[in-house]
Amino acid sequence: MSDNLVINNLRVNVAGGEILKGLSLSVKSGEIHALMGPNGCGKSTLANALMGHPNYNVDSGSVTLNEIDVLELGPDERAKLGLFLAFQYPTAIPGVTLANFLRMAVSAVRIVDGNDAATTSLVPMREFRKELRGKMEELGVDDSFARRYLNDGLSGGEKKRAEVLQLAMLEPKIAILDETDSGLDIDAIKVVGESVNQLVGPNLGVLIITHYPRLLNYIKPHFVHVILDGRIVESGGWELAERLEAEGYDAIREKHGVEFVQQTDPKLDAPIQI
């Protein structure tokens, strides 16, 4: 079955300030979308709002995954539904090992029969260990990683690898990668890029938020979107990323200018149908 995340005309405020101003986008399984835009334009806001962060308030618009209203759900239910966010700044949880946490998380998203008791049953230890070891090997992550505390005392790059490891273990339907490439060294970008590529198959749709086309050399996006001031102003193919790299955001800013922000372009506001 093909999964479909549809974001329609989403408006989000943070502490009263409107950040997303009518953003529309859809991501299907098998697709790779890249989302690019200058600092502070609302990329992480979109990611957090999609995952249900309590500080990001949705004023209007809709988000559905396979026609289920995502905005009605808590973050844990969204995860169980198949959404995943690799955070730009993963939060440290001291004293909790990555392995113990991941076993709980994997159990939570896999053992879904709805009742509360199920949330406390865990996938068998041996099975889990074997799977984790396999995935760590694929990602070129050191064995000791599993015993380290979650994002605590990890370098920037290590945190990003840990996010990708979680992505690989949790097997979501739609994954949002928020600047997973920043902080990674060149070799790591390659490893991460290749492993995300491996994960992308008919069963995973990906939204990659990035500033650098370098990652996109490894993960070739099918679609590239440019976000400015809280909404998507241009969408295109790979060539759009190349143009951005060459011209910067100024050309696009000029093109859409302030007037654009005021007017509504029904073509751009509608979900992009592919």
Among 10, 85, 162, 215, binds another protein (CB under 8 A): 85
Asked whether position 149 contacts another protein by CB under 8 A, the answer is yes
Question: Which of another protein, Mg ion, ligand ATP, none does 109 bind, CB closer than 5 to 8 A by kind?
Answer: another protein
Binding string, 81-100, against ligand ATP, x = CB under 6 A?
Answer: -------x------------
Number of other CB atoms surrounding residue 129 within 10 Å: 13
Which residue is it, tokens 């193919």?
Answer: 237
Q: Could you give the angle at which helices 125-138 and 98-110 cross, rounded to 10 degrees?
A: 110
Q: Which of 222, 213, 230 is nearest to 12 (CA)?
A: 230
Pick 21 or 135: Cβ nearer ligand ATP: 21
Pick 93 or 270: Cβ nearer another protein: 93
Which residues within the stretch 36-65 sit at the binding site for ligand ATP (CB under 6 A)? 37, 39-45, 55
**What is the rounded CA–CA span in Å between residue 102 and residue 137?**
16
Asked whether position 52 contacts another protein by CB under 8 A, the answer is yes
Asked whether position 120 contacts another protein by CB under 8 A, the answer is yes
Asked whether position 44 contacts Mg ion by CB under 5 A, the answer is yes
Question: Which of ligand ATP, Mg ion, another protein, none does 40 bind, CB closer than 5 to 8 A by kind?
Answer: ligand ATP
Could you tell me where the DSSP H helices lie in the chain?
A: 43-51, 75-81, 98-110, 125-138, 156-170, 186-199, 213-218, 238-247, 250-262, 266-269
**43: exposed, middle or buried (C-beta count within 10 Å: 0-12, 13-18, 19+)?**
buried
Q: How many residues bind another protein (CB under 8 A)?
A: 30
**166: exposed, middle or buried (C-beta count within 10 Å: 0-12, 13-18, 19+)?**
buried
Return the biggest CA–CA distance within the chain. 59
Asked whether position 109 contacts another protein by CB under 8 A, the answer is yes
Using CB under 8 A, list all residues that contact another protein.
Answer: 51-54, 74-76, 78-80, 85, 87, 90-96, 101, 104-105, 108-109, 119-120, 149-150, 166, 170
Using CB under 6 A, list all residues that contact ligand ATP.
Answer: 14-15, 19, 37, 39-45, 55, 88
